[in-house]
A and B are shown apart, each in its own frame.
Chain A
Amino acid sequence: MQIIESGNVAAALGVKLSRAQVIAAYPITPQTPLTEKLSEIIEAGDMTAEYIPVESEHSALAICIAASSAGARSFTATSANGLLYMHEQLHWASGARLPIVMCVVNRGVGAPWTVWNDHQDSMSQRDTGWIQIYANDHQQIIDSVIKAFALAEEVMIPVMVCYDGYLLSHTYMPFDIPEATLTDSFLPPYRPAYCLDPDEPANLNTVTLSDVRTDINGVKAHGYMEIRHLLQQDMLASMDAIERVDSRFKNIFGRGGSPFIESYRSDDARFIAVGIGSLSYHLRDVVDDLRDEGISVGVMSMQLYRPFPYQAVAKALKDCQGVIVFEKALSYGYQGPVCSDIKSALYHYVGPEGSRPFVLNYILGLGGREILTKDLYEGLKLSCTTKPSSPDKPRWIGLKL
């Protein structure tokens, strides 16, 4: 069924269709309407779930960790400083291998205080061992939430579904709500191999010594490093699962097919602009104009950021002349995180003349600074037509010093 609704409602409907059993969240702008919608749905009896209001985001994720350990499909959502407040529990959820799904409604982080969109919140949680998916529109939000549960429960790694605050969370767009009977067949109930059971007590994630040990049954028990190594292995291997889940979804619902990157007018492009979320669609308009002027340029959006789809990224970019990465986040003291990761993915691909594509970085839109089409157009055009100087230093768009 097609409806016109906000991005936050799209996310809430995805959670409803996924039949999450425990939802714990603390309201924070711009995520608030998502959790409000979920509590309304549960209150109205349209969804069987425990909605647990909490006093903080740290507690919200702690409850999801407990609920997930007890075998319940668990969901939370947050933004900005709320996500940062969860930081310690983020590592815990992934280390404990709990398939929690969380929506991150992207917002800039304080200080100074801001409520508007950028990507610094989720980008700065890159190394917490969570899978990170970014949605570009409302349809991708609802679809990604449903897919995220299937993925998380297959690989036993928690998943963040990230989308732009306001630009997607509060704008209205048409999207299709999948049929509940179909989502039920796509996403069967969560049945973990083990969940907390009073008849079968166990130690979970206790102090794990640096070396391996023999457990009480005389079996070798992994040490900390082995457990963490397996998280890394499974994180990399989850790219196969992501493709499988995506194609299974596509077979049923007819949508998807590009779980790693989404390319636009890129097949023959000499230059490729990279963006995440709604910015990637904005760049498409700019690319259309530049194409009209005869500049061979396309757009690539990162749909998946962790695990980093390095092979897909390298394949898409290695043969072009220049890559221009537009980012709403920064690794302070260097450059945008996506830019660094893209460079690293391209490192092994050297062309016949020892050349690689240049990689330029633009920082823009921090704290909701308006991104003008004119500025994107000028930045991208300049990058495609002049030889880049000091490519390691990001340039800024829309700065008014």
Chain B
Amino acid sequence: MKDDYCRKTSHSKSGPGDAGKTGSWRILRPVIDPAVCIPAKRGTPSCYMCWLYCPDGVISRGIPPEIDYEYCKGCGICAEECPTKAIRMVEESSFIKEDT
């Protein structure tokens, strides 16, 4: 009866991977330069504008901050917002050799 209908809707718990492996969308990879990044340079938790702005929540508040490339979709917002220009967007193709 009632249970025969509407067995599945688009309903999920938010968490890593709920939108699929968004890392596969990436054409440009954000790479943090620890020589320029504020927390890395100072050795104290600070700044983290990249963490705040990342729409996918894939940047950690570590020293240095770390990016989860499994889900980073390569939008470049972090690079745009970083006050010290510590994040470069690098062509994914340049990593192919390294990855294989």
A positions within 8 Å CB-CB of B: 95-97, 154-157, 193-194, 201-209, 211, 213-217, 221-222, 226-227, 230, 234, 237-238, 241
Q: Is A216 within 8 A of B10, CB to CB?
A: no
Q: How far is the CA of A226 from the CA of B11 in the complex (A)?
A: 13
B1-34 contact mask (Cβ, 8 Å, vs A): 1 or 0 = 1101111111111111111100000000000000
Whether B20 pairs with A209 at a CB distance below 8 angstroms is yes
**Total contacts A-B at CB 8 Å:** 75
Q: How far is the CA of A215 from the CA of B21 in the complex (A)?
A: 11
A202 and B5 within 8 A (CB): no
Contacts from B to A (Cβ < 8 Å): 1-2, 4-20
Q: Could you tell me the dominant secondary structure of chain B's interface residues?
A: loop
Apart from A201-B14, A227-B9, list 7 A-B contacts with CB within 8 A: A96-B10, A97-B6, A154-B5, A193-B6, A217-B13, A221-B12, A234-B6
Q: Are A208 and B6 in contact (CB under 8 A)?
A: no
Chain A interface secondary structure, helix, strand, loop or mixed? Answer: loop
Write the nearest CB–CB distance from A91 to chain B, whole angstroms. 13
Q: Cβ of A204: which chain B residues have Cβ within 8 Å of it?
A: 9-11
Identify the 8 closest CB pairs spanning chains A and B, nearest first.
A216-B15, A156-B6, A205-B10, A155-B5, A213-B20, A209-B20, A203-B12, A234-B5
The answer to whether A202 touches B11, judged by C-beta atoms less than 8 angstroms apart, is: yes
Closest partner residue, chain B, to A216 (CB atom):
B15
In the bound complex, do residue A215 and residue B5 qualify as a contact, i.e. CB atoms below 8 Å apart? no
A97 in complex: contacting residue of B9, B12, B18, B20, CB < 8 Å? B9
In the bound complex, residues from chain A placing their C-beta under 8 Å from that of B7 are 230
Asked if A208 contacts B10 (CB within 8 A), the reply is yes
Question: Among the interface residues B6, B8, B15, B18, which one has the most CB atoms of the partner chain A within 10 A?
Answer: B6
Residues of B within 8 A of A215 (CB): 12-13, 17-18
A207 nearest in chain B by CB position: B19
Cα(A156)–Cα(B8), bound, Å: 11
